[in-house]
Amino acid sequence: MQPNNPKLFVAKNLRKQIVKSICKFTSPKMPSEIEIVEEDAVVQSNDRESTAVNGGSTDNGVAVAGEESLRNDVYTAAAYGDLEKLHRLVESEGCSVSVPDSLGYYALQWAALNNRSAAAQYIIEHGGDVNATDHTGQTALHWTAVRGAIQVAELLLQEGARVNAADMYGYQTTHVAAQYGQTAFLYHIVSKWNADPDVPDFDGRSPLHWAAYKGFPDCIRLLLFLDSYRARQDREGCTPLHWAAIRGNLEACTVLVQAGKKEDLMVTDNTGLTPAQLASDKNHGNARRLLEKRCDGNSRLGRLSKLGLAPVLWFIILLLLGTYVNSVILASNLPKLTAGFGLLAWLAVFLATAGLVMFYRCSRKDPGYIRMNVHDPQNMKDDEPLLKIEINNPALLTGNWSQLCATCKIVRPLRAKHCSTCDRCVEQFDHHCPLGI
């Protein structure tokens, strides 16, 4: 055994990095809770690596050095991107890159997982199948989504990889990207290769469900921007907002609530619980308060509370103006005003009234609303394409996902912000006075 050999240590840990995207429902109290579990192959991988590191001793005393075992492994060479080793193993020793290892995974998948584009190109040129599936039905393209390996994904797609390939659980590449929060990768395959951002898996969950459950707000913004159906219910009757509430992902809940409607908050799952009730049941106080506040905000009293101090200020100004007219100008117990003072007094009333009128007219003007670009997935025709976004948009190319507005479906310019009172994006929000609403 060579515990101090860094090469063996790194290799041992590298081979453990297998896609962990299998899910199951398991909770006696909450049947609609997802639990991510590791593959059984992880244990087998540990045993295999331990054998390699310990030298692979046999009963008759013959031992094979762990380092020598790794040197003759095309899968490790592919994972490391070691082209020299791949050349020797394939061309000199006749090793094949088109057969799976003992765990059922292909060399191309290991290269894809670690974004080894040169190794992936070599494997494809020497017989590697870009659409080969392992025992879970996943292809190398699925594995690129785990770490957002855009370079290898682009290579695989150009070589004929199916962007809509699904594994045994119905996960497509967009599902895996959403599960691991790879927003840039998701944007790339949707905008350039027309991957479906709203396709459900075999349990009825779209990538938006997974992004909400795992708590990736940037992924949620992008998926909503791409018109993913936020009210889709899975087999358990849960919407993405239910999953965000179950995990208590406050930012995910905030994005979904801002982009949603009142009806989204009142949807119940198969157990009859709303997102707010699920958050309360899981003791997620902040998420529960957010959802309950949004529910209250959609009532008549809630809409009045959104106006803030504006009605109070208007009432005080009108009350003072009325008191001034009644107690000063028209008062019978005070000395009668001369013509000059009377003119000044009424001029003050006129200016105050004119100021209120102009203030009201100003509040009704457009403060600089940015045109909305909204599509309703429920009312869209089957042949109507989803909202297309510019692949050359600087904000998206630089990964500035916070400029995406999931409600207005636009890329906000700098200094613009979504006004929670107007429910619109306002250009140069710092000049938008909420008291003028």
Q: State the catalytic residues.
A: 433
* Selection from 421, 402, 398, 420 nearest residue 412 by Cα: 402
User: Is-contact 136 171, C-beta < 8 A?
Assistant: no
User: Is-contact 225 404, C-beta < 8 A?
Assistant: yes
Instruction: Determine the Cα–Cα distance for residues 278 and 296; give it in Å rounded to an integer.
Output: 17
Residue with structure tokens 């094949």? 96
CA atoms within 13 A on the CB side of 16: 12
Cα separations in angstroms, 125 against 76, 78, 120, 155: 18, 14, 9, 12
Instruction: Determine the Cα–Cα distance for residues 269 and 274; give it in Å rounded to an integer.
Output: 7
| DSSP sequence for 83-148 | HHHHHIIIIIS---SSS--TTS--HHHHHHHTT-HHHHHHHHHTT--TT---TTS--HHHHHHHHT
- Quote the tokens at residue 122: 């070599």
Residue with structure tokens 């989504």? 145
Residue with structure tokens 């967009």? 174
Residue 156 amino acid letter: L
Cα separations in angstroms, 357 against 77, 231, 343, 353: 76, 42, 21, 6
User: Is-contact 232 392, C-beta < 8 A?
Assistant: no
* Selection from 423, 389, 421 nearest residue 407 by Cα: 423
Mark residue 204 as left, alpha or beta (left: phi above 0; alpha: psi -120 to 50; beta: remaining).
left
Helix-, strand-, coil-residue percentages of the chain, each rounded to 5: 50, 5, 45
Residues 6+ apart with CB under 8 A from 246: 30, 32, 33, 34, 213, 238, 278, 279, 282
The pair phi, psi for residue 16, each rounded to 5°, is -85, -10
